[in-house]
Chains A and B, each alone.
Chain A
Amino acid sequence: MSAPRKLPGSLETNRTLERWLRVNRDGTVTVFTGKVEIGQGITTAITQVVADELDVALERIRLEPADTVHSPDEGMTSGSRSIQESALALRYACAETRDLLVQRAAAKLGVSLEQITVADGVVSARGGGSVTYWDLADDHLLRREATAQAALKPAAEHKYIGMALPRRDLPAKITGIPAYVHDMDLPGMLYGRVVRPPAYGARLAALDDDEVKAMPGVAAVMRDGSFLGVVAKREEQAVRAARRLVRLAQWQNNATLPADVTPGEYLLMQPAHIEVISDKADAAAKQRSVTVLEATYTRPYVAHAAMGPSCAVAQFDNGKYTVWTHSQGIYPLRHDLAMALGVQASAVTVTHGEGAGCYGHNGADDVALDAALLARAVPGRPVQVQWMREDEFAWEPYGSAMLMKTRAALDAGGNIVDWQFDVWSYPHSTRPGGKDGVNLIAAWHLAQPFKPATPVNPALPGGGSHRNAIPLYEFASQRVTNHLVVQSPLRASALRSLGAHANVFAIESFMDELAAAAGADPVEFRLRHLKDPRARAVIETVAQKSGWRPGALGDGARGRGIGFARYKNLGCYVAVVAEVDAGTEVRVTRAWAAVDVGLAINPDGVINQIEGGIIQAASMTIKERITFDRERVTSRTWDDYPVLKFAEAPQVEVTLINRPEQPSLGAGEGAAGPTAAAIANAIAGAVGARVRDMPLTRERVIAALA
């Protein structure tokens, strides 16, 4: 038997057409996708591809909420892969469905396929006669394996793809209509809160909860080992009871955090798995080296810091759990929930509901287990649990601390002839769905605890800690080495762009340092080492749009810098020019970006993602750092963890280089690295001193000048 044909996108793992869509007799089309809306606009983009490939109006398309009963298993909504995986699968599934319907129509109308036209689900024969999808479709039509042999529509025939259509979900969200898991209001619903230990390693030593059980509205106090929570009739009663429990609980903590050294120093002190991920030697080129530069760059732990603390609703009935969650991966979450709850996966139904913007692995999965455990204490009643702000800051998994060492050699002509890059980091995924443990906080605290699964560093070519560690530039000799330290002292997992934020920050900062040593303009210096025409085009475009002037110097306060990357070296191309004012506080005043995502399905969606990506990356790059002492994380509120405010947000201008003939690429994470580097380079240009440690604060600028 031959191996099954490789199918595009997520069709490969969800191979029947009926897994993706249903053509209904009432004139609607139901679409199933395993990718979920996290504020990135994916649901709008998906309806656009369905409408075009199927030839139906947008209004007919109903997107089913993702759940573990009906939806294709597409793993995580992450890595800027939803367009490449889900939208691509649906394009092929819909094109094939259209072909099947047209064949049925032709047979029914007694005409050849060439005589058929389709408009909004009405199949017409040139010589007269027509029939609709809604009459043609039946339960059997899509009960077949996809072949992906139907041709996708060429760009010239797109009616919806490529249009800047408004987001379908925004009218509800800006008028206060319930939109999030946080807004669910089921009959008989109770409210739960959890009381987390004061520090990672703390264990609940003693608790006298009689007083709390007698508080108004309290339905249950749930204690299982060091997992502690409360359920009450009203939300404020749950909050009050949880606060009281905080005062009554006695914890024991023997663990310590490495607060006496910087996160970068600590990384270097740990044993690491070392892997050379790119090795190209050209002895003759190396021989030509006349100048050698070295530098070290770092990033601290950074938080997702979603606006809405994580929330879930759960109900326990007759041994079965129903859970509503804003997790990025309902199937992996179900796997871990079932393990922690001691039931078969079939006893857990997980349904996605929207949450606040997530930017990676935050507390969404953890709170789902919290809710399920608390629901077990009140069978038959739904329980909504939302974390308090302190829970979110102190317990979410952070973006990993990282350290990058670079060393490069220039020849007499100012060309890079040798490039060495070493990155130290923790793995960038501790998401649910691991093989040898449960990646949910409460599971670790139960009287019969589960171990966390071994952290996973996503493999190349996308990569995790080494994402974008290999430069896209063409150097004669290069060696890139990944130093992976397996256990992070702080909880760490996927944060928007994983290692790319820090790796591109380091590579692109160092490119500017080398350009300066070579006496070259940063834009020209990059182009000198870059062959990929699409890469060159975004750099040239952003230079032109921002009015880049070779040799322009900063004035001691204001300056401009550029940063570039192709996300994961296989995704979207992004070049950013940032303008900073480092005169008093470090401020990013303006930014320009040029972006190439191939065929842009929704150009305004792409631009919104890039704008947001730039502003968020600016915040992370100049302001953000998780702080901790020897016992505990000390970033607990927005006061301890300031993010960019309205008065500090840059103006952003995004230029989209549309390439309708090229495959569509995701855009969500592409701006992070280029933005960080552009800001660092702008500061160096402005004040004449280089800051290599994020966040790029005023204090660090002053220290660099000293």
Chain B
Amino acid sequence: MAITITVNGKQHSVEASDDTPLLYVLRNDLKLKGARFGCGLGQCGACTVVIDGKAAQSCDVPLSAAVGKRITTIEGIGGVEKPHPLQSAFIAEQAAQCGYCASGIIMAAYALLARNPHPGEAEICEALAGNLCRCGTHARILRAIKRVTGEAR
């Protein structure tokens, strides 16, 4: 059965059952590989996208729940040629090692900055409470996000 969802401002019709995790639809049907499978349990945040302005773990969102919503993925906020300020800040701080967690963290920060352009460190950490990083890049990632909140001032 065809289901229509809106991702990065574009409508897509997908042939998948309505309980399919949104993550697999993004990755395999829409070929948007930036959201990544980390746990399938909503515990690690590697699959984070933004749905109607809120950070959501797409491994844990059935396709049916994504219908009629505005979904934004890492590919929708900027690219190599025209990066989003968060992406530029991650490059400036070299805030990644393996990078597997990076898209999810950037999207969680993106949702935070949309509702609060000037969060303090505690608020940033709170927004990233559902995101894990295993390489230990935490300090650089926090610096990168603070670089954007500083620039916004």
- Residues of A whose CB lies within 8 Å of any CB of B are 38-41, 166-167, 169-180, 182-183, 185, 191, 216, 234-236, 239, 305-309, 354-359, 386, 388-389, 604, 608-609, 611-619, 637-639, 643-647, 649-652
Chain B residues whose C-beta falls within 8 Å of the C-beta of A614 in the assembled complex = 136
- Residues of B whose CB lies within 8 Å of any CB of A are 16-17, 20-21, 24, 27-28, 31-41, 43-44, 46, 73-75, 78-80, 83, 87, 90-91, 94, 96-103, 106, 122, 124-126, 128-129, 131-142
CB pair A175–B33 under 8 Å, yes or no, is: no
CB pair A234–B16 under 8 Å, yes or no, is: yes
- Report Cα–Cα, A358/B100, bound state, in Å: 11
CB pair B91–A174 under 8 Å, yes or no, is: yes
- Report Cα–Cα, A619/B128, bound state, in Å: 17
CB closest chain-B residue, reference A609:
B97
Chain A residues whose C-beta falls within 8 Å of the C-beta of B129 in the assembled complex = 645-647
CB pair A357–B37 under 8 Å, yes or no, is: no
CB pair A170–B96 under 8 Å, yes or no, is: yes
Total inter-chain residue pairs, C-beta < 8 Å: 191
CB pair A389–B41 under 8 Å, yes or no, is: yes
- Report Cα–Cα, A170/B80, bound state, in Å: 10
CB pair A611–B140 under 8 Å, yes or no, is: yes
CB pair A357–B135 under 8 Å, yes or no, is: yes
Least CB distance from A28 to B in Å reads 20
- Report Cα–Cα, A481/B122, bound state, in Å: 47
CB pair A176–B32 under 8 Å, yes or no, is: yes
Chain B residues whose C-beta falls within 8 Å of the C-beta of A176 in the assembled complex = 32-35, 73-75, 103
Chain B residues whose C-beta falls within 8 Å of the C-beta of A40 in the assembled complex = 97
Chain A residues whose C-beta falls within 8 Å of the C-beta of B32 in the assembled complex = 176
Chain B residues whose C-beta falls within 8 Å of the C-beta of A234 in the assembled complex = 16, 20, 24, 28
Least CB distance from A252 to B in Å reads 28
CB pair B37–A608 under 8 Å, yes or no, is: no
Chain A residues whose C-beta falls within 8 Å of the C-beta of B87 in the assembled complex = 174-175
Least CB distance from B42 to A in Å reads 10
- Report Cα–Cα, A350/B107, bound state, in Å: 34
- Report Cα–Cα, A652/B142, bound state, in Å: 12
CB pair A39–B24 under 8 Å, yes or no, is: no
Chain A residues whose C-beta falls within 8 Å of the C-beta of B90 in the assembled complex = 170, 174
CB pair A235–B24 under 8 Å, yes or no, is: yes
Least CB distance from B142 to A in Å reads 7
Least CB distance from A484 to B in Å reads 29
CB pair B91–A307 under 8 Å, yes or no, is: no
CB pair B39–A615 under 8 Å, yes or no, is: no
CB closest chain-A residue, reference B99:
A173
Chain A residues whose C-beta falls within 8 Å of the C-beta of B83 in the assembled complex = 171, 174-175
Chain B residues whose C-beta falls within 8 Å of the C-beta of A617 in the assembled complex = 136
Given contacts A386-B37, A616-B136, contact A174 B28 (CB under 8 A): no
Q: Which listed residue (B40, B96, B122, B128) contacts A174, Cβ 8 A? A: B96
CB pair B16–A236 under 8 Å, yes or no, is: yes
CB pair B94–A166 under 8 Å, yes or no, is: yes
- Report Cα–Cα, A474/B40, bound state, in Å: 51
Give 17 A-B pairs besides A170-B91, A389-B41 with Cβ atoms closer than 8 angstroms: A40-B97, A174-B106, A234-B20, A235-B24, A307-B100, A307-B101, A308-B37, A308-B38, A309-B37, A389-B43, A612-B97, A612-B135, A615-B137, A615-B139, A637-B41, A646-B128, A646-B131
Given contacts A167-B94, A389-B39, contact A613 B99 (CB under 8 A): no
CB pair B36–A175 under 8 Å, yes or no, is: no
- Report Cα–Cα, A357/B97, bound state, in Å: 7
Q: Which listed residue (B36, B43, B73) contacts A308, Cβ 8 A? A: B36
- Report Cα–Cα, A608/B135, bound state, in Å: 10
Chain B residues whose C-beta falls within 8 Å of the C-beta of A166 in the assembled complex = 91, 94
CB closest chain-A residue, reference B141:
A646
- Report Cα–Cα, A619/B136, bound state, in Å: 9
Chain B residues whose C-beta falls within 8 Å of the C-beta of A171 in the assembled complex = 80, 83, 91
Least CB distance from A382 to B in Å reads 13
CB closest chain-A residue, reference B31:
A185
Least CB distance from B90 to A in Å reads 5
CB pair A608–B16 under 8 Å, yes or no, is: no
Q: Which listed residue (B46, B74, B126, B140) contacts A307, Cβ 8 A? A: B46
Least CB distance from A185 to B in Å reads 6
Chain A residues whose C-beta falls within 8 Å of the C-beta of B35 in the assembled complex = 176
CB pair A357–B103 under 8 Å, yes or no, is: no
CB pair B134–A616 under 8 Å, yes or no, is: yes
CB pair A649–B74 under 8 Å, yes or no, is: no
Given contacts A176-B103, A178-B33, A185-B33, contact A647 B38 (CB under 8 A): no
CB pair B138–A638 under 8 Å, yes or no, is: no
Q: Which listed residue (A185, A309, A358, A615) contacts B136, Cβ 8 A? A: A615
- Report Cα–Cα, A449/B97, bound state, in Å: 38
CB closest chain-A residue, reference B97:
A39
CB pair B98–A307 under 8 Å, yes or no, is: yes
The CB with the most chain B CB atoms within 10 A, among A173, A176, A236, A358, is that of A176
Q: Which listed residue (A175, A637, A645) contacts B80, Cβ 8 A? A: A175
Q: Which listed residue (B39, B106, B141) contacts A637, Cβ 8 A? A: B39
CB pair A357–B33 under 8 Å, yes or no, is: no
CB pair A638–B136 under 8 Å, yes or no, is: no
Chain A residues whose C-beta falls within 8 Å of the C-beta of B91 in the assembled complex = 166, 170-171, 174
Given contacts A608-B137, A652-B139, contact A175 B46 (CB under 8 A): no
CB pair A608–B33 under 8 Å, yes or no, is: no
Chain B residues whose C-beta falls within 8 Å of the C-beta of A643 in the assembled complex = 132, 134
Given contacts A615-B136, A645-B132, contact A235 B102 (CB under 8 A): no
CB pair B125–A307 under 8 Å, yes or no, is: no
9 A-B pairs with C-beta separation under 8 A = A169-B99, A176-B74, A183-B27, A307-B46, A612-B97, A614-B136, A615-B138, A616-B135, A646-B141
Chain B residues whose C-beta falls within 8 Å of the C-beta of A608 in the assembled complex = 94, 97, 137, 140
The CB with the most chain B CB atoms within 10 A, among A166, A191, A612, A617, is that of A612
- Report Cα–Cα, A609/B96, bound state, in Å: 10
Given contacts A171-B91, A175-B74, contact A638 B44 (CB under 8 A): yes
CB closest chain-B residue, reference A638:
B43
Chain A residues whose C-beta falls within 8 Å of the C-beta of B79 in the assembled complex = 175, 177
Chain A residues whose C-beta falls within 8 Å of the C-beta of B137 in the assembled complex = 608, 611-612, 615
Chain B residues whose C-beta falls within 8 Å of the C-beta of A359 in the assembled complex = 134
- Report Cα–Cα, A614/B138, bound state, in Å: 11
CB closest chain-B residue, reference A358:
B98
Chain B residues whose C-beta falls within 8 Å of the C-beta of A358 in the assembled complex = 98
- Report Cα–Cα, A185/B28, bound state, in Å: 8
CB closest chain-B residue, reference A605:
B94
CB closest chain-A residue, reference B80:
A171
Chain A residues whose C-beta falls within 8 Å of the C-beta of B124 in the assembled complex = 646
CB pair B38–A174 under 8 Å, yes or no, is: no
Chain A residues whose C-beta falls within 8 Å of the C-beta of B73 in the assembled complex = 176
Least CB distance from A302 to B in Å reads 12
CB pair B134–A305 under 8 Å, yes or no, is: yes
CB pair A357–B138 under 8 Å, yes or no, is: no
Given contacts A39-B97, A170-B99, A646-B129, contact A235 B28 (CB under 8 A): yes
Least CB distance from B137 to A in Å reads 6
- Report Cα–Cα, A172/B83, bound state, in Å: 11
CB closest chain-B residue, reference A652:
B139
Chain B residues whose C-beta falls within 8 Å of the C-beta of A178 in the assembled complex = 33
CB closest chain-B residue, reference A306:
B134
Chain B residues whose C-beta falls within 8 Å of the C-beta of A183 in the assembled complex = 27, 33, 36
The CB with the most chain B CB atoms within 10 A, among A307, A614, A637, is that of A307
Name the 10 nearest CB pairs between A and B, nearest first. A176-B34, A39-B98, A615-B136, A173-B99, A357-B98, A649-B138, A612-B136, A356-B100, A176-B74, A183-B33
- Report Cα–Cα, A180/B98, bound state, in Å: 10
